[in-house]
Amino acid sequence: SSNHGLPKLTTAFKNGKDIINTYDAKGFIDTNATRKNFVNSLRQDKSIAVLTHGKSDNDETTNTKGIYFSDSFLNMDAIYKLSSSTELLILGACETNIGFKSTEGTINLGRAFTAIGVKSMLLSSWAIDEQSSIQIIRSFLKYLDAGYTKSEALQKAKLDYLATASPRTANPLYWAGLNITGNNENIRLQERNYWWWGFGILSVFIGVVLIAYYKFYSKK
């Protein structure tokens, strides 16, 4: 499949597979990380993690803002035509919280997914760093699965990251870009005889192109 001219980031690929194994999640890797499979997961699964590239801008256009899958680019216009019952959507991609600031709020991917029924999201406010972001996301999932609220889990994940970061990577550009929006309640990622969650509590999409543009740190 095409990588859309974007770099393949192997750290996210490796860690994404570890996440699948840790939480016994449904995994869509490489050519299986398609737009169709993602759309189906939006209808069926309570939690979804997407490790891929994303892009956005601050103008009013909606067809240029979106996320990449192995077979196509899913933009905001297409998202608004979908439906979802997902409790938590983790968008491990760049600029998913960036958009045009209008009198009705920010026109961005988060707004589009909220409009179709997604209850909460982990979004990025700029071009996130691959290694630091995947470290924070993994810790976030650990604390979420331990019973913390989403904001508590993310706070603890960031503190864990800072505890081992070098002076350079402790810069907020490396860790402050990931934030929670929407419902803050806890959602467990592994089935614990809770029959109402059913199958597919977590789905993980790992495309040919993975987690971040690397704009800030491509020369580090």
pLDDT digits (tens, 9 = 90+) for 90-147: 998 887 877 667 766 667 899 999 999 999 999 998 888 888 999 999 999 999 999 9
Q: List pLDDT tens digits, range 133-186.
A: 999 999 999 999 999 999 999 999 999 999 999 999 999 999 999 999 999 999
Q: Nearest CA to 215 among 101, 83, 53?
A: 53
pLDDT at 83: 96
66 vs 71: CA distance, rounded Å: 14
pLDDT tens figures, 59-88: 666 677 899 888 889 999 999 999 999 999
Show me where the domains of the chain are located. Answer: 10-129+180-206
At residue 17, the pLDDT reads 86
| Rounded Cα distance, 217 and 137, in Å | 19
